[in-house]
Amino acid sequence: CAEQIQARRSVKKDWQAAWLLRAVTCIDLTTLSGDDTPSNVHRLCYKAKHPIREDLLRAVDMHDKGITTGAVCVYPARVADAVKALKDAGCNIPVASVATGFPAGQTSLITRLGEIKIAVEEGAREIDIVINRTLVLTGQWEGLYEEICQFRQTCGEAHMKTILGTGELGSLTNVYKASLVAMMAGKNVGFKPAGGIRSAKEALVWLSLMKEELGEEWLKPGLFRIGASTLLGDIERQIYHYVTGRYAAFHDLPMA
- Domains for the chain: give ranges and CATH numbers: 2-243 (3.20.20.70)
pLDDT digits (tens, 9 = 90+) for 88-111: 999 999 999 999 999 999 999 999
Residue 14, pLDDT score: 65
**C-alpha–C-alpha distance, residues 198 and 200, integer Å:** 7
- Residue 98 DSSP SS3: strand
* Distance set, CA 180 to CA 8, 184, 186, 205, 212 (Å): 30, 6, 10, 24, 21
**C-alpha–C-alpha distance, residues 20 and 243, integer Å:** 13
Whether residue 29 is predicted with pLDDT greater than 80 in this model: the reply is: yes
DSSP for 1-22 reads -HHHHHHH----HHHHHHHHHH
* Distance set, CA 66 to CA 32, 202, 255 (Å): 26, 24, 20
Residues contacting 250, CB < 8 A, separation 6+: none
Residue 64, pLDDT score: 84
Peptide bond into 103 cis (omega under 30): yes
72-76, 111-115, 200-204, 243-247: range with lowest mean pLDDT: 243-247
**Could you tell me which residue, 137 or 4, shows the higher pLDDT?**
137
Letter string b/e over residues 180-191, b meaning 16 or more CB atoms within 10 A of that residue's CB: ebbeebebbbbb
pLDDT digits (tens, 9 = 90+) for 171-183: 999 999 999 999 9
Whether residue 47 is predicted with pLDDT greater than 80 in this model: the reply is: yes
DSSP secondary structure letter of residue 77: G
Tell me how crowded residue 116 is: count the other CB atoms within 10 A of its CB. 25
Residue 50, pLDDT score: 94
Whether residue 254 is predicted with pLDDT greater than 90 in this model: the reply is: no
Please, which residues bridge with residue 74 across strands? Answer: 97
Please state whether beta strands 226-228 and 27-30 pair in parallel, antiparallel, or not at all (unpaired). parallel
Query: Are the beta carbons of 210 and 204 closer than 8 angstroms?
Result: no
**C-alpha–C-alpha distance, residues 63 and 50, integer Å:** 10
User: Which of 64, 56, 61 shows the shortest CA–CA distance to 248?
Assistant: 56
- What burial class does residue 1 get, using C-beta atoms within 10 Å of its C-beta: 0-12 exposed, 13-18 middle, 19+ buried? exposed
Whether residue 5 is predicted with pLDDT greater than 60 in this model: the reply is: no
Q: What is the pTM of this model?
A: 0.89
pLDDT digits (tens, 9 = 90+) for 74-83: 999 999 999 9
